[in-house]
Structure 1
């Protein structure tokens, strides 16, 4: 059976697509066009998946048709020449992946096909762990193309790279692709057997590139509205089933070629700048070195130039099997001198298809004499079209080209003697396509950060800068290292420890390194394992709490515990307290007060809580000078990271472990002391030289993280209350002309929209819609992925507007918080039980706790929202019974997190939102504590210095602007302060 297939379309749930993109309209237009097989598009979108499930029925292996009652209704609206033609659907979706690989930002679109709804549902559940699949029918995911292919194969489907030459979003695109399809899919490249050539190229162009010889070249419409179906399509001569189509693509048997646009009509065929009205052929582009002669910025390099760049054949190998066409409404519109969507054109096409059959049949097969009976001019146009005799006006930089069948003025002459159709001649008019104007963005294209020098020579210290080396080389005794942000604090400390054990004869067992978080401890251990692999196993690297566990394990009997005592998490603590009081609030109060009855109940169950992990070892040591001496003898070299964050008990513990003249190294920055709310006291850092009178002090002032503008701005912000006299910080990396942007928004929602819009601009666009709408018009900053963006805020409540804006924009994100389960004991309980139950699916593991599926879903739903996850994922997982998982570790996502949670992290692009008096600084009624305000200033300093390339600070009209921004008056204001009437092409000025 010979049939036409269009396997790349979109539903009404895709951005910038017609509301008529539903199954009924798609079926009606497929019959009118003469298309037998249509992709469903968008099956990952929850609402569209439900629509497919409800309205499609199986019709042959791996294919579907419209429900019988709906199909009959459509037949009644069509003439006999079109009614009852079979239309089948194949499950399809276009996935946009944006990620970093080999130092470049990759933006690649893919077509994924599945043989049944169950396979599609499994795929959807997997994709929901990567990002938000519910905001756009063409989801944007931070996933490597290779990993997307792997998941597709695991779910039983196949993948075809979409519109492979498109500059911005394609596997071979000039802006963000690869030089070969195989490079994109790495070790799984052998599973790709077809590529979609796109509207701006044809098979002859593609066959100039020999690396494409092993792929079937397919074409599809990428229709955003039903009338666009079939503008490009693929012909098959197989049984009408999924597996036969797949075999034809794999083997070539039954593959009948393609129906093509003339490639010049594609909107990225040649090079140019739409906003400047500049269009160039490849040789002209080379002569101008790829620079626009109007604005002096890089041109958008089109498909023709990209093919020339990769071509290794002067004469294409015979591609054969394709026909270039112009859609029938465009031909009729040219004859009538009106647009192809006009009522006059639609009426004529209705008459033609009723009399002669589907549009594609008229263009390809109906005898010219039969067409001439309706319109001699149309007959002449079709004859020329079949011979390829057309006038070509090439598209460029997102602007469609124009293909004409008649020479300028020719229709005017012919109209005098020939009727256009069965109507009076219409005044000829040539469609004008004026370039749309869009102001250029000024995002800086900065080189990647330059790392601190790598070790060379015979000593581990040779690769350090002079300040780092001076600190790491101190022989012994107390040492205080004041390390500004981005100055290589962890690098200096780990090199010092590694040098002690490898070059200075210090036994590894004598070294104790303490930090505050498990992540920091793991990072330190990894670095030391690389620097001193033969000694790393003997080092003790711990957090304060894991150090407490070690001491208690060794001396458990002294505090009435067994050797296998447990550590109670918050849920277990409440359980223990509830054995003493029934009321939940009263139980929580017992825990918070560390009531003696509660502590006794813990001990009865052989448990300690987190506070015990510090207080009990402290009691042991303070009551036993012999034990103190033993530990001092065991760990003669003690190093403490983030010393500014110690609290009173941790300070006392350290003083016991390290004598005043001992070999204690403390490293940190008092201007980054931000944890007073949990008991930390920067005063202990400031009195270090009093506690250790012989201490050496070394400053690290060379910043290897941030741009010069970020460093300058951060220093100006911290200056009024800096705890480091003469604070210095010198930028050591070149990020070009990157600056700090300050934005004033009309509301919290507008501020969040600014964040989403600016992410797209800095990223150089995350979708075609970003370019078509004028929001983005350049490459942005190259080499970025979603995980390179962070949005920081003072309170968790501020994240709500951000979650909504990013979800609306289809941008993948994760919400990271220390307290994500706070105030949700039911959710915490479910999550705890699910997380610790052995094996099983979500359905099985939650049912035992929640009682039924509905209750489990309702309890998990707020947790999903708190975590920035797609709540549909939970519904899908519960329904399908798939394995429990939160986020796929391969996913690349924007980070949303509090300023406190950002400590120790760094990102190329940082937004700090809510820079308002009352939020930053946070002010409580009646609280005029100057120390608290100083710490809030330090909190902003920490947030600002997380940024490497770009930093945006924003505030709204809801509160007065933060006084901390006063020193930044000279920095660039970006965006608009209040809503204005929408203008086409309005765009932010970026860095």
Structure 2
């Protein structure tokens, strides 16, 4: 059977969409239009998916229809000529993906189709691991297009690139797309067999690009309200089922072409600048070098220019076997032109009601009804349809988000004809069948369609970066040639103790790895004599990867370890001295509690034993040939302190010791290092005392500051060239740290050009307003994450080029500040993840206590903590890092605890904004950083009666660390709920955003003057 399909629509759960976008109204309008197959749209949205499952029933392979009672109610509101026509639904959704590929930001929309609700549910579950699918019917995901296609195929569906030429959000778009569909989907491109041409192009334009020959060119309405159904559509001659439609798209058999806008009516047909009212043809754009002649800003390059850019055939070309198409103008627009009122006016709606009741569905009137029958109702309408079918229209092209205008009559022509005859007969023509539902009575029906809202308006490079020095080929003296003078000075120190004071972004890891590589490749130091110690597994892995490249013939013999993995090495080698077997194990939190329960019967006491490292608990561990996390430092330290011979053996084995992040060592780690490295030995310590922020973990920056006392012959080298941050960020960070810097004469010189964007300081009325500012600014810097961002005026430019969601981080002092951010980003539909310290989950007992806290009900948070931990002190000691950070706020403690230990179930391919504490940001960097909650009492955090100057100084260092995570843009924010942070008073140059308004003085009254 031949039928019309519109497979790209949206529900009421999509932004800027009519509340009438439900199944009943869609069915009503599909019958009115003459459409047999409609996409459901938005099936990833939880509420809409539930609506679909409750109101659809299966109707043929892979398709659905509205359940019977609702379907019958709809037919009662339609004219007899429209009632009863079959309307089927296919599960569909539009997915927006924003991600980085090959150094460029890509923003591509896709249509995904599924054959059944079970497949859709599986797909939804996969999408939920990537981003927020509940805030918008068209979810915005930080996922590569190729990976989206892979997930679609794995769930049994197929994918069609949406409106492929749209500049801002399309596979071939001029702003953020590709030059070929195959480039977008990479190795999976053969599984894409159709593309949607969009409103601003038609097949004839697409035929000029030979790379599109293998695709079926489909069209759909992308309707945001039911009356917009069928403004573009696709024709099929197949059975009415999902699999037949898919086969037609794959093979071309049964694919009958499309119904199209005149492409000039699309919002992005030609080039232009909406704000300036400038509209240009491609040749004019070239003459102006793509710049608006009015304001000097870049023009929005439209579809016509983009097609011209990629075309390899002349106009008028048509590939062999290509299906045809028909250009149409929606019937309400034609009637609107004739009667001289808007297409949504009551006069137009009433006339269209009368026409469809008499002549059948709108698409049938436009394409098939004899002109004489149409002229019987209105000679002018008959003339208009005649011209339409011949393609004789007047075209004013759309540009930069402005719809174009297609007219059937020349200016003034209707006025000249107006006096000759009525525009429309006021009575139906003889023999016409009149429907029972005049437009004025529509409001009486519970599902009667309301006039749709006006179509939303649509939208109207970063400076080059100086990269850090690059290395020459590995090996030999050339290995250090790529370092800057300061890095080279540090890396080439021949021997003896060395302290490297490395400011943020100065290439700390680069310098350390090049130094080690130079030792083993040029200076003949055996790789087996080199030990490099870091604080995290991630840092150790990064160091190992770099050394594998720099010293490929030596890397395998190097010892690269964390303090704890070094402890494992020593214990494995001297297990018997520690009372262990060669195969001893490291107890996880559950094992630790299980062992403690063998010592005491009470769970609370068992947790207290673990927290305190009680001797009875330790003895029980040893009896089971187990150690815990703390033992990995304490036991090796005890072995070395008790055996000078063992100390000598390890000193002879590792004659060259390097320690990263030396400012973060605690007392036991310091003692261990002093035993491994003699005062005149080859110890290289690298770090920055102004980034010492882990005192609550036991770290003591004093060990860094006394390095010259411990190692009197040590040389000191400063790294001051920052290759990470813009000049504004570097200057601002130096301003903030200056009052309490631990580096005399602190210097930091920016070496990259990220543009002149100043540090932004934002004042908000509340936490929710602050969070809304973050979400709004993310979209502005990103250059828009959705059409709605342009339509609403929130975004009006490309923003900063080549950014993805993972390039944004929002930092805060405590996790409680994240709550408003989560709400705001969810509302904006932006994908995000909350990140925390990876060390927290490793602490003994944390996972079990977290699980019990989450399971507890019917008590206050404080009571829950007491119930599962025994008392406040035990909970505090067990989770000391988190407890210190959260202070006395046990609700925040509970929330942060759950965050810190929950398993990350995100799909690793997902690209998301990072929400994390300032402490957790250490070691990371992002092009765009927000630091929220810059308020006294929070940053610096102050407890009642707390006047610890050292603690305040560390809080200042914490802000310094957070600020220097930023590469291009840095925003500091505070609210009116607390005084702003005193640290901000030291910031000399910034841009005030949302400055607080001065309070108005009350007018004096007679009483106030007395």
Using structure 1 for the length normalisation, give the TM-score. Answer: 0.91
CA contact (8 A) 1:703 1:732 kept: yes
Matches within 5 A, 1:761-776: 761-776=780-795
Once the two structures are superposed, residues 363-391 of structure 1 have per-residue CA deviations (whole angstroms, 9 ceiling, x without a partner) of: 11111111111111111111111111111
Unmatched segments (≥5 aa) in structure 1 = 425-432, 833-861, 872-883, 981-991
Q: Deviations over 1:294-328 (max 9, x none)?
A: 22110111111111111112223235611111111
| 1:358 counterpart (357, 361, 366) | 361
- Equivalent in the alignment of 2:75: 75
Q: In the alignment, is the contact (CA less than 8 A) between 1:221 and 1:229 conserved in 2?
A: yes
- SS state of the match for residue 480, structure 2? coil
Q: Distance in 2 between matches of 1:380 and 1:115?
A: 43
The answer to whether 1:418 aligns with 2:431 is: no
2: CA distance, partners of 1:827 / 1:651: 32
Distance 2:672 2:636 in 1: 8
Check the 8 A contact 2:267/2:458 in 1, yes or no: no
Cα deviation for residue 906 of structure 1 reads 0.6
1:276 touches 1:437 (CA, 8 Å); kept in 2?
A: no
Secondary structure of the structure 1 residue equivalent to 2:113: strand
Q: Secondary structure at the match of 1:275?
A: helix
What is the count of residue pairs matched by the alignment? 926
Partner residue, 1:707? 726
* 8 Å Cα contact 1:108-1:169 kept in structure 2: yes
**1:827, distance to aligned residue in structure 2 (A):** 5.5
Deviations 1:220-259, CA, capped at 9 Å, x for gaps: 0000111100000000111111111111111111111110
Cα offset, 1:455, TM superposition:
2.2
Alignment CA distance shift 1:730-1:864 (3 Å)? closer
Contact 1:129 1:888 in 2 (8 A): yes
Q: Deviations over 1:97-149 (max 9, x none)?
A: 10101111000001111111111111111111111111111111111111111
Q: Distance in 1 between matches of 2:837 and 2:469?
A: 31
Q: Does structure 1 conserve the Cα–Cα contact (< 8 Å) formed by 2:854 and 2:898?
A: no
What's the counterpart of residue 315 of structure 2? 315
Contact 1:705 1:733 in 2 (8 A): yes
SS at match of 1:505: coil
Q: 2:779 aligns with which of 738, 745, 760?
A: 760
1:502 aligns with 2:505: no
Q: Determine the C-alpha separation between the residues in 2 that align with 1:26 and 1:830.
A: 47
Measured in 2, the distance between the counterparts of 1:885 and 1:638 equals 35
Q: Is the 8 A contact 2:266 2:398 kept in 1?
A: yes
Q: Secondary structure at the match of 2:709?
A: helix
Superposition deviation, residue 456 in structure 1: 4.8
Distance 2:639 2:622 in 1: 16
Alignment deviations for residues 631-684 of structure 1 (CA, whole Å, 9 cap, x no partner): 111111100000000011100000000000001000000000000010000000
Q: Partner of 1:460: helix, strand, or coil? A: helix
Find the counterpart in structure 2 of residue 958 from structure 1: 977
Structure 1 contact 618–649 (Cα < 8 Å) conserved: yes
Report how far residue 588 of structure 1 moved. 3.0
2:956 is equivalent to residue 937 of structure 1: yes
Which stretch shifts more, 813-822 or 895-904?
A: 813-822
Counterpart mapping for 1:646-661 below 5 A? 646-661=665-680
Deviation at 1:570, TM superposition (A): 3.0
- Structure 2 Cα separation of the partners of residues 487 and 190 of structure 1: 45
Is 1:697 the counterpart of 2:699? The answer is: no
Query: 1:214-233, aligned counterparts within 5 Å?
Result: 214-233=214-233
> 1:574: Cα distance to partner?
3.0
The separation in 2 between residues aligned to 1:274 and 1:583, in whole angstroms, is: 73
Q: 1:725 to 1:122 in 2, by over 3 A?
A: same
Deviation, 1:73, is 1.2
Provide closer, same or farther for how the CA distance between residues 607 and 888 of structure 1 changes in structure 2, counting only shifts above 3 A: same
Does the 8 Å contact 1:275/1:436 carry over to 2? no
Which residue, out of 390, 393, 396, partners 2:393? Answer: 390
Take 1:38 and 1:389, find their aligned partners in 2: how far apart are those partners?
30
| Shift in alpha-carbon separation, 1:868–1:268, aligned structure 2, 3 A | farther
Q: In the superposition, relative to structure 1, how do residues 358 and 477 fare at CA in structure 2: closer, same or farther (>3 Å)?
A: same
**CA distance 1:490–1:914, shift in 2 (3 Å):** same
The offset of 1:447, in angstroms, is: 3.0
Partner-residue secondary structure (3-state), 2:518? helix
Specify whether residues 703 and 499 from structure 1 end up closer, same or farther in structure 2 by C-alpha distance, changes over 3 A only.
same
Question: For residue 727 of structure 1, what is the aligned residue in structure 2?
Answer: 746
Alpha-carbon shift at residue 434 of structure 1 (Å): 14
Give the TM-score, by structure 2 length: 0.89
Task: Name the counterpart of 2:117.
Answer: 117
Shift of 1:596: 2.0
CA 1:96/1:463 → structure 2, altered by over 3 Å: closer, same or farther? same
**Aligned match of 2:443:** none
Give the superposition deviation at 1:956: 0.6
Q: Does 1:447 align with 2:461?
A: no
Match of 2:350 among 347, 352, 374: 347
Give the 3 Å change call, closer, same or farther, for CA 868–247 of structure 1 in structure 2.
farther
Does structure 1 retain, via aligned residues, the 8 Å contact 2:764–2:976? Answer: yes
Maintained 8 Å contact 1:268/1:303? yes
Compute the displacement of 1:707 (Å): 0.5
Deviation at 1:583, TM superposition (A): 4.5
What residue in structure 1 maps to residue 305 of structure 2?
Answer: 305
Maintained 8 Å contact 2:759/2:989: no
* CA RMSD across the alignment: 2.4
Structure 1 match to 2:407: 404
Residue 977 of structure 1: how far off its partner (Å): 4.6
The question of whether the paired residues in 2 share the 8 Å contact of 1:748 and 1:801 is answered with: yes
What residue in structure 2 maps to residue 530 of structure 1? 549
> 2:579 aligns to what?
560
Q: Deviations over 1:856-906 (max 9, x none)?
A: xxxxxx99996599x9xxxxxxxxxxxx98111111111111110110111
Aligned to 2:483: 464
Contact 1:64 1:89 in 2 (8 A): yes
Contact 2:402 2:458 in 1 (8 A): no
For 1:585 and 1:894, how far apart are their aligned partners in 2? Answer: 39
Gap change, CA 1:251 and 1:863, over 3 Å in 2: farther
Q: Residue 94 of structure 2 corresponds to which residue in structure 1?
A: 94
Q: Secondary structure at the match of 2:51?
A: helix
Name 1:984's counterpart in structure 2: none
Q: How far apart are the structure 2 equivalents of 1:597 and 1:340? A: 84
Any conservation in 2 of the 1:815–1:868 contact (CA below 8 Å)? no
For the residues of structure 2 that align with 1:742 and 1:759, how far apart are their CA atoms? 15
Greater Cα shift, 454-463 or 27-36: 454-463
CA drift of 1:403 comes to 1.2
Deviation per residue, 1:251-299 (Å, 9 max, x gap): 1111111100111110111111112222111111111111112221101
Task: For residue 910 of structure 1, report the CA deviation from its aligned partner.
Answer: 0.7
Query: 1:569 is matched with which residue?
Result: 588
